[in-house]
A and B are shown apart, each in its own frame.
Chain A
């Protein structure tokens, strides 16, 4: 029995369509399917539903004041100080306004804002793109809003770094241990080949302590549960005008900034 080209193409098309319909591809691509972590039913300090932070830039008068926060974080989490910028690991760092808020930059900023450095960190987004792209679910969002890393599971593919619009993730190109001055023995270091980032001090929160940077900030960083109307974060958001980084992207960051004003 012979088959002409028209019949062949019809058959091929039908088979392909059938295959597509039956394939799990749709399931994989459905939004929300790749969001990980069903966990965190209990524990956690204790009933928080959405951890968030407000960075009050007015309360950082000098470079020294925010450097304290950065140092506190570095010490707590054994963050290496690499020799080369290419290998840099950063959880919380300082950026110019134009880098931190590129979509609200106008070129004619007030002098003070132009000179100011803004503390930036992982935004622990409501809709984190890093979580969506992670093939091993090494990074996942917990029910209390924290986007955390499971370093045991990270394969170092760096998809999350490509997906993060804030550059908040760093890759360990080298073994970090030789570059940590004083190792804090109560927190693990990382290894070569994994991605790391700020996790809002998930372990400290569990013990009822504030994140290390918040503790060192002398009130300039305000931390609390966004879903609790009486939390410090909500009180600040009610009383002051705040902005978030790159709001157009729809990641809904959990870090808010008070830039100026009264």
Chain B
């Protein structure tokens, strides 16, 4: 059993290497994603509000967009509803991007941070940016 110490050293080194990414993520302070909300349309709003509560959009926008896509394409139910007398359509391109015209600072920053790659933009076009 003369190799006992060697084995323990190697084992410790191995565990440290394997667990490093997990520990690193726990310890480091998260950097600010710095999502920007100051587009011309949003700046001109008297009451700055989304069509749904902020928290809900933050956590469920992907589910909402997914159900919108089925509603619109398969069911042709395109109306989201009226807010303050304005009718909103269930549309990524026409509704979401109308206000959030800064795709790279709004959508991309968060998606890049979370390492999420979405394929929405393969077809849908960001309103003004058009960097294709």
Give A residues with C-beta under 8 Å from B: 37, 39-40, 42-44, 78, 140, 142, 148, 150-152, 177-178, 183-191, 202-203, 206
Known contacts: A152-B69, A185-B93. The answer to whether A42 contacts B126 by CB under 8 A is no
Contact A151 B123 (CB under 8 A): yes
* Nearest CB of chain A from residue B8's CB, rounded to whole Å: 54
Q: How far, in angstroms, from A188 to B79 measured CA to CA in the complex?
A: 18
Q: Beyond the given A150-B73, A187-B93, please list 5 additional residue pairs across the A-B interface where CB-CB is below 8 A.
A: A43-B75, A152-B69, A185-B126, A185-B127, A190-B123
Contact A188 B76 (CB under 8 A): no
B interface residues, how many (CB within 8 angstroms): 19
Instruction: Point out the residue from B69, B74, B123 that lies within 8 Å of A37, measured CB to CB.
Output: B74
Give B residues with C-beta under 8 Å from A: 69, 73-79, 93-94, 122-128, 130, 132
Instruction: Point out the residue from A150, A152, A186, A191 that lies within 8 Å of B93, measured CB to CB.
Output: A186
Residues of B close to A191: CB separation below 8 A: 122-123
Q: How far, in angstroms, from A148 to B77 measured CA to CA in the complex?
A: 14
Contact B93 A40 (CB under 8 A): no
Contact B76 A44 (CB under 8 A): yes
Contact B77 A177 (CB under 8 A): no
Closest to B126 in A: A185
7 A–B pairs (Cβ distance < 8 Å), ordered by A: A39-B76, A151-B123, A183-B125, A183-B130, A185-B93, A185-B125, A185-B126
Residues of B close to A178: CB separation below 8 A: 132
Q: How far, in angstroms, from A187 to B76 measured CA to CA in the complex?
A: 16
Q: How far, in angstroms, from A188 to B73 measured CA to CA in the complex?
A: 12
Q: How far, in angstroms, from A202 to B130 measured CA to CA in the complex?
A: 24
Contact B75 A39 (CB under 8 A): yes
Instruction: Point out the residue from A43, A177, A187 that lies within 8 Å of B78, measured CB to CB.
Output: A43
Closest to B124 in A: A188
Closest to A36 in B: B74
Q: How far, in angstroms, from A39 to B122 measured CA to CA in the complex?
A: 27
Closest to B74 in A: A39
Residues of B close to A150: CB separation below 8 A: 73-74
Known contacts: A44-B76, A152-B73, A206-B76. The answer to whether A188 contacts B93 by CB under 8 A is yes
Closest to B132 in A: A177
* Nearest CB of chain A from residue B31's CB, rounded to whole Å: 32
Closest to A149 in B: B73
